[in-house]
Amino acid sequence: MKAALIQHRYEGNKEDTVKKSVEMIKKASKEGAELVVLQELHQGNYFCITEDVNNFDLAESFEDDVKFWSNAAKENGVVLVTSLFEKRAAGLYHNTAVVFEKDGSIAGKYRKMHIPDDPGFYEKFYFTPGDLGFEPIDTSVGRLGVLVCWDQWYPEAARIMALKGAEVLIYPTAIGWFDEDSEEEKKRQYEAWLTVQRGHAIANGVYLIAVNRVGFEEDHTKALNGIRFWGASFVAGPQGEILKRASFDKEEILFVDIDKRRMEDVRRIWPFFRDRRIECFKDLQKRFCD
Amino acid sequence: MKAALIQHRYEGNKEDTVKKSVEMIKKASKEGAELVVLQELHQGNYFCITEDVNNFDLAESFEDDVKFWSNAAKENGVVLVTSLFEKRAAGLYHNTAVVFEKDGSIAGKYRKMHIPDDPGFYEKFYFTPGDLGFEPIDTSVGRLGVLVCWDQWYPEAARIMALKGAEVLIYPTAIGWFDEDSEEEKKRQYEAWLTVQRGHAIANGVYLIAVNRVGFEEDHTKALNGIRFWGASFVAGPQGEILKRASFDKEEILFVDIDKRRMEDVRRIWPFFRDRRIECFKDLQKRFCD
């Protein structure tokens, strides 16, 4: 099964950004991709850089957005993983990945479970933590463990998806650097992001796809300078080996072949699921063991 | 706090091997180490390469071994992490890490919880899975999350130790290559081992020490050629950054400074513990979600 990761910039407005995505999906499909993954909140800028009630307007179009991407999936005959701003009710919003089948039907959705909040990433202001749990989504290309961004730091999320049979973990992401950080700190942050996710692929013997946005996005309030999204979308195999990796600063489509036989082989030599001490894992449900 | 990792070969017999370890502990102590970590089953060869009831003789000396290493800790004034073959009763054995205080008293012990079993690593034949749970050990140099080898593939073990306040995860290890594997496969295996552990350091914002044996050990039954232990003992910081790494083929003492302030700083910028969706983690106690 051939998958495509689409890494792009924000084009300054929704219309141009969405047009760019659709062109890239079309190209990916033409080159044989059956699964296409878009980056986090790919329709626009990363608006969580500041807290502004007017940004809730962006979620008003959620139903139309779903129709739009359904159509994009159908026209290109691909399973499509999108990342949208969902208005569920007045004052109740989610960061939601909607997955479409090749015929445009909704295969499933995942509401981001772990919500970050730190300077420039004010997501707790915008998104209620998901209430759909960690449920993989069945599609014609396999069972997809769709998670979003901050989830990628949590081994528990990856593990539960794998225990429920996910064959590929998929993370639409928006992560970047502050230019004011040292080069050393930037390197540590990027490598930590890459490494913790490769760790999930290894611990669970699954494929892992992470798609990150790229380019600099300004903070118009001037409270911060802005975020330089580091791109570097990648695919890891079930031993955590990096199969493909994008650049830090360019728009790209990455193609990769997902081979389920390889997962089977790796789990035979490294049968981690065989030996988990599940009777001793109760403390994982605690906040902290004081 | 200065820690030392001691990576060495099997010297062909217990007496010479133990002598070598003691010399290295002495050297580490002289250079200011307060915490010294030895590799898995450091007193002899990695006997689990084959299943042989005679090898249970090696555990007969457990009580004497404890006295011996207690004395080594006391003489050198270091907190010492050892890895011993424990006879608990006839027909009941564990792979046990005993941790000694600087005065030679026993600070605590950990019985390896996850037991591997694959060709050349027949540990399920020798070791009953531990029944002491994942409990960190308090020492004068900090709270140590001591785990052993196969545990290193399990994010749950690392997480529980961290939730219980472990500041350093410590893994005495015996892992190596089969010479008959391809160079590519060897690279993937080594990198997976390194990466999954760095992932634990990142996900939990803790230091991580892994000490592996080095050198080739033959299989005298000739069922296998033998195992080439890959050394590469290392220390990762709380962002998973590699602070020190040993060679693949030499005996070495690695020194590293453990800075608790750095852990505090990293957890302030990456507060992963804040957001865990513990109410949704029940499935982690399942073998598989069929």
> pLDDT digits over A228-242, tens only?
999 999 999 999 999
Look at residue B3 in the predicted model and tell me its pLDDT.
Answer: 98
* Residue contact B195–A191, C-beta within 8 A: no
pLDDT band at B219 (very low <50, low <70, confident <90, very high): very high
> pLDDT tens digits, residue range A14-73?
999 999 999 999 999 999 999 999 999 999 999 999 999 999 999 999 999 999 999 999
Report residue B180 as tokens: 């008959």
SS3 B272: helix
Cα A193 to Cα A189: distance, rounded to the nearest angstrom = 6
Inter-residue contact B111 to B94 (CB < 8 Å):
yes
pLDDT band at A9 (very low <50, low <70, confident <90, very high): very high
Query: Among A149, A145, A138, which residue's Cα sits nearest to residue A162?
Result: A145
Look at residue A77 in the predicted model and tell me its pLDDT.
Answer: 98
Provide mean pLDDT across the span B210-227: 96
- Note the ipTM here: 0.97
* Residue contact A133–B163, C-beta within 8 A: no
Provide mean pLDDT across the span B50-74: 98
Neighboring chain A residues of B282 at a CB cutoff of 8 Å = 285
* Residue contact A275–B116, C-beta within 8 A: yes
Pairing state between β A35-37 and A2-7 = parallel
Inter-residue contact B84 to B146 (CB < 8 Å):
no
Look at residue A43 in the predicted model and tell me its pLDDT.
Answer: 98
- Which amino acid makes up residue B202? I
Look at residue A149 in the predicted model and tell me its pLDDT.
Answer: 97
Cα B111 to Cα B95: distance, rounded to the nearest angstrom = 6
* Residue A186 a catalytic site member: no
Report residue B29 as tokens: 């102590």
Residue of B nearest to A290 (CA): B164
> pLDDT tens digits, residue range B86-96?
999 999 999 99
Residue of B nearest to A115 (CA): B275
Cα B67 to Cα A40: distance, rounded to the nearest angstrom = 58
Share of chain A above pLDDT 70, in %: 100
Neighboring chain A residues of B210 at a CB cutoff of 8 Å = none
Look at residue A147 in the predicted model and tell me its pLDDT.
Answer: 98
Look at residue A66 in the predicted model and tell me its pLDDT.
Answer: 98
> pLDDT tens digits, residue range A124-181?
999 999 999 999 999 999 999 999 999 999 999 999 999 999 999 999 999 999 999 9
Q: Which of B268, B283, B286, B287 to mutate to test the interface with A (most CBs of A within 10 A)?
A: B283
Report residue B79 as tokens: 């907190």
Neighboring chain A residues of B160 at a CB cutoff of 8 Å = 280-281, 283-284, 289
Residue B155 has phi, psi (to 5 degrees) of: -60, -30
Neighboring chain B residues of A288 at a CB cutoff of 8 Å = 163, 273
Report residue B273 as tokens: 């513990």
- CA of A195 to nearest chain B CA: how many angstroms apart? 6
Cα A191 to Cα A175: distance, rounded to the nearest angstrom = 12
Share of chain B above pLDDT 90, in %: 100
Cα B248 to Cα B268: distance, rounded to the nearest angstrom = 35
pLDDT band at A79 (very low <50, low <70, confident <90, very high): very high
- Which amino acid makes up residue A179? D
The single-letter DSSP state of residue A13 is S
For CA atoms B26, B30, B35, B39, give the dihedral sign: negative
Provide mean pLDDT across the span B140-162: 98
> pLDDT tens digits, residue range B256-269?
999 999 999 999 99
pLDDT band at A191 (very low <50, low <70, confident <90, very high): very high
For CA atoms B158, B161, B163, B167, give the dihedral sign: negative
Residue of B nearest to A119 (CA): B269
R_g of chain B, CA atoms, integer Å = 18
Cα B281 to Cα B283: distance, rounded to the nearest angstrom = 6
- CA of A62 to nearest chain B CA: how many angstroms apart? 26
Q: Which of A122, A164, A289, A290 to mutate to test the interface with B (most CBs of B within 10 A)?
A: A289
Look at residue A33 in the predicted model and tell me its pLDDT.
Answer: 98
| Residue-averaged pLDDT of chain A | 98
Inter-chain contacts counted by CB atoms under 8 A, chains A and B: 168
* Residue B112 a catalytic site member: yes
* Residue contact B198–A202, C-beta within 8 A: no
Residues B18-43, buried b or exposed e (16+ Cβ, 10 A)? bebbbebbeebbeeebbbbbbbbbbb
* Residue B40 a catalytic site member: yes
* Residue contact B196–A192, C-beta within 8 A: no
Look at residue A6 in the predicted model and tell me its pLDDT.
Answer: 98
Neighboring chain A residues of B277 at a CB cutoff of 8 Å = 113-114, 129, 154, 156-157
pLDDT band at B76 (very low <50, low <70, confident <90, very high): very high
Pairing state between β A207-212 and A234-236 = antiparallel
SS3 B258: coil
- CA of B179 to nearest chain A CA: how many angstroms apart? 16
A34, A112, A167, A252: the catalytic one is A112
Look at residue A41 in the predicted model and tell me its pLDDT.
Answer: 98
Residue of B nearest to A282 (CA): B285
Which among B154, B163, B202 has the least Cβ separation from residue A195? B202
Can you give the pTM of this predicted structure? 0.98
Share of chain A above pLDDT 90, in %: 100
* Residue contact B203–A280, C-beta within 8 A: no
* Residue contact B165–A289, C-beta within 8 A: yes
* Residue contact A155–B153, C-beta within 8 A: no
Neighboring chain B residues of A148 at a CB cutoff of 8 Å = none
The single-letter DSSP state of residue A280 is G
* Residue contact A202–B195, C-beta within 8 A: yes
Neighboring chain B residues of A195 at a CB cutoff of 8 Å = 195, 198-199, 202, 240
CATH 2.60.40.60 corresponds to the domain B2-285: no
